[in-house]
Amino acid sequence: MQNNDLVIGNVAIPRGKEVKIQLELPKLYNTPTHLPIRVIRGRKTGPTVFISAAIHGDELNGIEIIRRLRKLDILKKLHGTIIFAPIVNVYGVMTLSRYLPDRRDLNRSFPGSIKGSIASRIAKIFFDEIVSKCDLGIDLHTGSIHKSNLPQIRTNMDNEYTLKLARAFEAPVILHSELRDGSLRAEAQEMGTPILLYEAGEALRFDETCIRIGVKGIINVLRENGMLPKVIRKTTKTPITSRVSKWIRANESGMVRTIKALGDTVKENEVIAYIDEPLDDNSFEILSPFDGIIIGKSQIPLVQEGDAIFHIAKFRNLNVAEDKIEYFNEDAIKQSEFYELNNEEIIE
């Protein structure tokens, strides 16, 4: 979007300005509720990108990622516009719930309707006021309750543009992800606005490593997209890419004794966990269905038959996978260029 006029919620936002906006949402038992938006417009023209978090109200990492992003001095060099929406599901955050008060999933309610359910109405407001005015979106998520995700970008790997941006993000894993009806990503893509989905960490928890990878990854994407100056970099990180993944489910009920951790590589038919009967001596093996890397894992030891326990992305060359995943540890992130974001050598 190259025009000079950006209007959100009847507020005109000129170039070179940072504006806070409160979009009015449906009232909750007659209590006024608003969607908080922060818009940063550079003085120079460029793409318009939205960065959203907490579409599921219990997914909190993205809120902190956006808070840290807003404080970076590098954004003073912005070409184009960033629209920050740190808490899309305001109602869910207030109740520490993934869902809305009507128990609907906001991320299955797009593009929404102003005459529909509360979920549909919120989706309509967010889609019309924010998504429809953008050239690109970055949507921040975590695993669901009691499940943790290895930092990963989910996108359409057949789209050269989004695959290029996904690689620039430098999360440990890029996962090809099919579109789901009613999701923000599906409806935005149909309209012509591609979205990168960043999955990292666990619901209702802050994960420092996931947050740092997210902040640096978004800056990388903005640079790759021509919105921030390029920098001289000594090294770049190459993510693992996978087109196939599978959730491994419990074949019995009991208590899980895990052998493999998040980020570990696994071989086909390798034992990755045991399910033990708490009142008996029986123990049941859980095997990996193929060579790959664990990108999602249940964090609660109690399981019922059929519960999802491990999410494994298929990857044939495990030696390469181990080399690429090596940087995914807290010490590596602490020593990374994250802390020099405001002091990097800019390529003018």
Please compute the mean of the pLDDT values over residues 20-33 and round it to a whole number.
Answer: 91
pLDDT of 342 above 70 = no
Handedness of CA 113, 63, 82, 167 (dihedral sign): negative
- Say if CB 36 and CB 86 are below 8 A apart: yes
Of 151, 170, 154, give the one whose Cα is nearest residue 293.
Answer: 151
Give the pLDDT band (50/70/90) at residue 328.
low
Task: Determine the pLDDT at residue 348.
Answer: 47
Give the pLDDT band (50/70/90) at residue 321.
confident
Task: Determine the pLDDT at residue 315.
Answer: 93
- What whole-number distance in Å separates Cα of residue 37 and Cα of residue 39? 7
Give the pLDDT band (50/70/90) at residue 326.
confident
Choice between 326 and 279, residue whose per-residue pLDDT is larger: 279
In Å, the largest CA–CA distance within the chain is 70
Task: Determine the pLDDT at residue 177.
Answer: 92
Which of 25-29, 233-237, 268-272, 338-342 ranks highest by mean pLDDT? 268-272
pLDDT of 337 above 50 = no
**Which residue reads 């008996």 in tokens?**
280
Choice between 118 and 236, residue whose per-residue pLDDT is larger: 118
pLDDT of 346 above 90 = no
**Would you list the domain boundaries of the chain?**
7-237, 244-326
Mean pLDDT of the residues in the chain: 92
Beta strands (DSSP E) in 107-239 are 136-141, 147-155, 173-176, 195-202, 230-231
Task: Determine the pLDDT at residue 2.
Answer: 52
Please compute the mean of the pLDDT values over residues 222-226 and round it to a whole number.
Answer: 97
Task: Determine the pLDDT at residue 88.
Answer: 98
Task: Determine the pLDDT at residue 340.
Answer: 54
Task: Determine the pLDDT at residue 22.
Answer: 97
| Contacts of residue 177, Cβ cutoff 8 Å, sequence gap at least 6 | 154, 155, 156, 185, 197
CATH of the domain spanning 7-237? 3.40.630.10
| Contacts of residue 18, Cβ cutoff 8 Å, sequence gap at least 6 | 38, 39, 40, 41
pLDDT of 63 above 90 = yes
Please compute the mean of the pLDDT values over residues 299-326 and round it to a whole number.
Answer: 91
Fold of the domain built from segment(s) 244-326: OB fold (Dihydrolipoamide Acetyltransferase, E2P) (2.40.50)
pLDDT of 296 above 60 = yes
pLDDT of 278 above 80 = yes
Task: Determine the pLDDT at residue 319.
Answer: 85
First to last CA, the chain: 23
Task: Determine the pLDDT at residue 78.
Answer: 97
